[in-house]
Amino acid sequence: MRLTRLVPRALLLGAGLTLPLSAQSRSTGYHTAARLAAAIDSIGRANPQLVRVTTLATSPGGRPVHVVRIGGSDEKPALLVLAGAYGPQVASSEVALRLTREVVTRAARDAATKALLADYTIYVVPRLNPDAAEAFFAPLKHERRGNDEKSDDDRDHATDEDAADDLNGDGLITMMRVRTGPGGGGEWIPDAVDPALMRRADALKGEQGLYKIYVEGKDDDGDGQYNEDGPGGTDLSINFANNYQFFAAGSGEHQFSAAETRAVAEFVTARTNLAAVYVLGMQDNLIKPWEGRRTPGIGGSPQGTSAGGPYTSILPEDATWYAEVGKKAPRPVTGADPVSAPENGDPLSWAYYHMGRFAFGSRVWWPGRAPADSGAGRRAPTPDPLATERNEYRWLKANDPMGFVEWKEVAGYTIDGKPVEVGGFAPFARLNPKASTLDSLGAQQAGWVLDLTKMLPRTQLAGPVSVTSVGPRVWRVTVDVVNTSYLPTNSALGVRSRLPRRVKVELSMPNGVTLSSGRKQQYIESLRGSGASRQFEWVVVGDAGATLTLSVGAPNSGAVTETITLRAR
């Protein structure tokens, strides 16, 4: 195939040419990597007693990936908020920045928030993929998923040699379609209800494809393919370990091959105090909670074993917690439910399936529910293969007209002698709202993050330790360990994987005191929340007045230590 009469991109854009409004306005009010770093640094410098800012990793493009610790200790039970893994979804980073600022502000003004952060820690990674996000601010708007690693996507021993091109000079990289006619090799046809949308022809219904679809651009390297090796390496949102897709576009050489994702894995592994993870990204399990199922694995063997293969759904014992937490989460004001991306190499499913943590995910923002079009002949089919795209298209037409570029022929350009039309969804339009909505989203998410932090497990003693004399120098020591918060001290999958650590109950005795019954160290696999308790009892032999030390807790649920005196009460 051949694209003819192409003008160099520099001439299309023009030296110093002012870009169309559609290419300028969407990023206004958002933070570039430099501005984001400055904003994070400002929060840290203004609140040194509460906030600590460190660099988690440095991207291939030399941009920092920050982690903000809110709270005074790495020893307290903690929540990790992870945002910005999917580069084009810059809104998640903006909301993470704003919720960080809002939580810190509330801690300074509200005694309850201050007390909460004395008992718990919140970590925030605002933008995991700063390289890809920076494309949001470039003069030429193009949704880029990969970081700045060099990548030979088409395996021709050259890197980044066939990027997308702005054929119509509107400052946007959208799509291009070429009409082939019946039998011309095309796979796509215009939708009968909304002709601006394209769908694959259904051969079972006798439909023949009429168009070929490409990303807007030309065959820069002359290999007969279009835009198959543009800038950008690893898509960090699919570089994690759970259900990792080898050889998928942008997935990287292997799991955690990118420095940024590897740093997250090392951070979570080292932080045994992490009780839960909240991901602002492309997956949602709050509006539509994960469901637990008992599913046979490979060859009928149980899933979660070497013979049966990995789990494909959460454990049923955890499903009730996801369902109840989902009921407490903020609901979308638009009335539309989010479309959750597949869980392939993503951070959300990795945090649960591989690290054993309760993991919650939110899309943060998505187009609302468009009004139904009841015009004659305009009803969409049921089921509708374009349901999501149709709703987005109609919503954008009503609320953000620049979010969709109507198809228009590019004068003088052809592929194999056939006219080329350019159009489709504008870059970033379906992922990022107007900047004016970000503050309210940040405030809403700040409240939810604090609510989620309150749900993290908390192990305590239910009242004083009981000491009873049962004979000369013989004493019965009894204690009730309680989880006073909402979530269990460990998910059911965490119990299976031994991640995070179990609650340890340990009785230490000085010389001269011996243990007659019971064990010095005992463990609670998982203690349900909302006041669930478990009783422990020991019989010790020692003189009256001798002191014992009882330690109870786990890094992710807190610890308490009490000195016990052998004295009848």
CA 164 to chain centre: 28
Structure tokens at 232: 């950008």
Look at residue 224 in the predicted model and tell me its pLDDT.
66
**CB-based contact 391:106 (threshold 8 Å):** no
Give the CA radius of gyration of the chain.
Answer: 28
* Distances, alpha carbon 94 to alpha carbons 21, 235, 257, 535, in Å: 22, 19, 26, 46
Q: How far apart are the first and last CA of the chain?
A: 92
Residue with tokens 């990597």: 33
pLDDT at 13 over 70: no
**CB-based contact 294:319 (threshold 8 Å):** no
Residue with tokens 């709270």: 71
Max avg pLDDT among 24-33, 39-48, 217-226, 364-373: 39-48
Phi, psi of 244 (to 5 degrees): -60, 135
Look at residue 220 in the predicted model and tell me its pLDDT.
67
What is the rounded CA–CA span in Å between residue 28 and residue 86? 20
* Distances, alpha carbon 76 to alpha carbons 260, 267, 498, 545, in Å: 25, 15, 19, 33
What is the rounded CA–CA span in Å between residue 379 and residue 194? 10
pLDDT at 22 over 60: no
CB atoms within 10 A of CB 254: 11
pLDDT at 128 over 80: yes
Decide: residue 401, CB within 10 A, 0-12 exposed, 13-18 middle, 19+ buried. Answer: exposed
CB atoms within 10 A of CB 73: 13
Decide: residue 139, CB within 10 A, 0-12 exposed, 13-18 middle, 19+ buried. Answer: exposed
**CB-based contact 504:272 (threshold 8 Å):** no
**CB-based contact 83:93 (threshold 8 Å):** yes
Look at residue 229 in the predicted model and tell me its pLDDT.
55
**CB-based contact 526:494 (threshold 8 Å):** yes
CA 363 to chain centre: 8
What's the sign of the alpha-carbon dihedral 388, 391, 393, 396? negative
Look at residue 25 in the predicted model and tell me its pLDDT.
62
The CB-based long-range contact list for 179-183 (8 Å cut-off, 24+ gap) reads 179/210, 179/211, 179/418, 179/419, 179/421, 180/209, 180/210, 180/211, 180/212, 180/418, 181/210, 182/208, 182/209, 182/210, 183/208
* Distances, alpha carbon 20 to alpha carbons 321, 479, 488, in Å: 49, 71, 53
What class, spelled out in words, does domain 30-136+233-287+329-367+440-455 have in CATH?
alpha beta
pTM of the model: 0.93
Decide: residue 270, CB within 10 A, 0-12 exposed, 13-18 middle, 19+ buried. Answer: exposed
What is the rounded CA–CA span in Å between residue 425 and residue 123? 35
Look at residue 226 in the predicted model and tell me its pLDDT.
65
User: Helix and strand tally (H, E) in the chain?
Assistant: 12, 22
Phi, psi of 404 (to 5 degrees): -135, 130
Structure tokens at 317: 């014992």
Look at residue 175 in the predicted model and tell me its pLDDT.
96
Q: Each residue of 75-117: pLDDT tens digit?
A: 999 999 999 999 999 999 999 999 999 999 999 999 999 999 9
What is the rounded CA–CA span in Å between residue 271 and residue 252? 26
Q: Each residue of 256-290: pLDDT tens digit?
A: 999 999 999 999 999 999 999 999 999 999 999 99
Ranges of H-type helices in 490-566: 492-497
What contacts 298, CB < 8 A, 6 or more positions away? 307, 308, 309
Nearest to 566 by CA among 504, 482, 509: 509
Q: Each residue of 146-204: pLDDT tens digit?
A: 999 977 565 555 555 557 889 999 999 999 999 999 989 999 999 999 999 999 999 99
What is the rounded CA–CA span in Å between residue 455 and residue 452? 5
Largest CA-CA distance found in the chain, in angstroms, rounded: 104
Q: Each residue of 286-334: pLDDT tens digit?
A: 999 999 988 888 988 889 888 999 999 999 999 999 999 999 999 877 7
- List every span in the chain annotated with CATH 3.40.630.10: 30-136+233-287+329-367+440-455
pLDDT band at 18, cuts 50/70/90? very low
What contacts 270, CB < 8 A, 6 or more positions away? none
What is the rounded CA–CA span in Å between residue 430 and residue 392? 7
What contacts 35, CB < 8 A, 6 or more positions away? none
- Which DSSP letter does residue 309 get? B
Q: What CATH number should be reported for the domain whose range is 459-565?
A: 2.60.40.2310
Q: Each residue of 334-382: pLDDT tens digit?
A: 778 899 999 999 999 999 999 999 999 999 999 999 987 766 556 788 8
CB atoms within 10 A of CB 180: 19
Structure tokens at 108: 């300074």
